[in-house]
Amino acid sequence: MTAATSGLPAPEVTLLDRTRLDAGALYFVSYDGLVNNNAFQKHGLFTYRGHQYAAWYTASREAVVARREQAGRTWSAVTLAHRLKSDDSHNVVCMGFSRADGRLHLNLDSHSDGFFYVRSVAGLLDDPAATPWTPSAFGPVLTTLDGLALTGEFTYPQFIATPEGRLQLAYRVGVSGDGRNALAEYDGSTWTALGEWTSSTGTYTTAHGSSTARNMYLHGIDYDTSGRLHAFFTWREQNAAVMCDSGGIANHDTGYVYSTDRGRTWRNDAGAVVATTGGPDTVAVTGGGLVVDPLGPDHSLMNQESQWTDSAGLPHAVVSYVPGRFRRCTTDYVADRTAHGRAFHLRKTASGGWHKTEIPVALGSSQRTKLVLDRYDNAYAVLPHGRIAGASRASGYTDWTLLYDGAGLDAFGEVVIDETRVREGNVLSFMYQEKSSGTTPSPLHVVDFGLPA
């Protein structure tokens, strides 16, 4: 079946507008990425009750948060009392919103060390006109969650709004190759540490060698409309001996778990409980029923890509790597992914199986792709450099085609998606930064595309 024969709209994007956040935002390339545009930056851009919010670092390294009316073109920026401490693209600014009290929360500037946290006054997001958009709307910059100390090895913050209006913070404890995922929760007045839910221990062995330490990288962590919490992931091994060549990247397998009790316990694809957050049982590389798309560590599989859930609550993800038809052993993951990398759409079917489709557009980059679904469950992959490919639900997602070639954006690579605007406003909006060189600042933009009505 095709979109035309199903009577449903085909995937389509219509360029609506482009606005400039900063004429010269901070620019440096680290870990092949930019600190203002990293795919794991959830949320670097989001929409709430008719206003859109963005956060970034200026050329003078100051952290800034800005807002605009959803249909407006003028952004109003507030400078926070914090300056980026190091040239590390991991040290992003992430935002969250707690519907319980209408606060804006920001977590920033961390990579396997301490974090910084700022929250707004209550009600700022609920009634923007009633509270001046000035530095006085924000509290002090803290190194705890309003008094809750988490870990001195903190990385990859992701804020998640729960269905009943609480706010959760997902993060990694530890370092690359030896870390655990954990959760904290804000109930509208107090932060509580829920604990760790993944393991870094156990032995993983390939034909090349073994590793006894690792960390789980999340492709995302999101609630669907029924309140189920979904998480796709890949493992990163500490010991490069598991690879055919040390120039690759020691990521392997795509796994999937979900929670039906707000992240307190975790289940594998078959529904068996495999972990209790804060308890002795955690999701481990040796656990059963976790891998839904097996792949060894010789293909430069990327970590922290993207996921979404459709209107039926079925999980979808984008993963990318170098297919075996190009190279069975990657020896330089940046060069090999740029030359031969491809993105794949992985999804759970209504019958309970898993299906993977290659997106027939070369990555031309080592970087990540973002995935969104529209109100008709058509899929869109926002590829590096702001290119957009789409596939229809009616075809079973077999008709992937390039819808927008990124012409005129001059985007560096990864983009930051406004997930809430897609879901609530039917607009694909993303933040990107123009290419530059060295440490020369460059313009930072938000571009908006209409999706099928």
Q: What is the mean pLDDT of residues 42-51?
A: 96
User: What pLDDT is attached to residue 12?
Assistant: 98
User: What pLDDT is attached to residue 175?
Assistant: 96
Amino acid identity at 245: D
In percent, the amount of the chain with pLDDT more than 70 equals 100
User: Does 217 score more than 90 pLDDT?
Assistant: yes
User: Does 40 score more than 90 pLDDT?
Assistant: no
User: What pLDDT is attached to residue 5?
Assistant: 76
Note the pLDDT tens digit of each residue in 405-432: 999 999 999 999 999 999 999 999 999 9
Q: What is the mean pLDDT of residues 224-249?
A: 98
Instruction: Provide the pLDDT confidence category of residue 39 given band limits of 50, 70 and 90.
Output: confident
Residues with Cβ < 8 Å from 129, sequence gap 6 or more? none
User: What pLDDT is attached to residue 134?
Assistant: 97
User: What pLDDT is attached to residue 436?
Assistant: 98
User: Does 308 score more than 80 pLDDT?
Assistant: yes
Alpha-carbon torsion angle 283, 286, 290, 295, nearest 10: 130
* Nearest Cα residue to 150 out of 120, 176, 186, 121: 186
User: What pLDDT is attached to residue 3?
Assistant: 73
Note the pLDDT tens digit of each residue in 85-101: 999 999 999 999 999 99
* Nearest Cα residue to 436 out of 34, 19, 20, 18: 34
User: Does 386 score more than 80 pLDDT?
Assistant: yes
Asked if residues 174 and 215 have their Cβ atoms less than 8 Å apart, the reply is yes
User: Does 261 score more than 80 pLDDT?
Assistant: yes
Long-range CB pairs of 200-203, under 8 A, 24+ apart, other chains included: 200/174, 201/284, 202/284, 202/285, 202/286, 203/286
User: Does 218 score more than 90 pLDDT?
Assistant: yes
Note the pLDDT tens digit of each residue in 124-173: 999 998 889 999 999 999 999 999 999 999 999 999 999 999 999 999 99
User: Does 227 score more than 90 pLDDT?
Assistant: yes
In percent, the amount of the chain with pLDDT more than 90 equals 96
> Would you list the DSSP string of 110-158?
-SSB--EEEEB-TTTTT-GGGS--SGGGB---BSSBTTB---SSEEEEE
User: What pLDDT is attached to residue 2?
Assistant: 79
Q: Where are the beta strands (DSSP E) in 153-198?
A: 154-161, 167-175, 178-186, 191-196
Note the pLDDT tens digit of each residue in 432-442: 999 999 999 99
User: Does 1 score more than 80 pLDDT?
Assistant: no
DSSP letter (8 states) at residue 169: E
User: Does 271 score more than 80 pLDDT?
Assistant: yes
Q: Mean pLDDT, the chain, as a whole number?
A: 97
∠ CA 26-55-447, nearest 5°, is 90
Q: What is the mean pLDDT of residues 261-277?
A: 98
Q: What is the mean pLDDT of residues 1-22?
A: 90
Instruction: Provide the pLDDT confidence category of residue 71 given band limits of 50, 70 and 90.
Output: confident
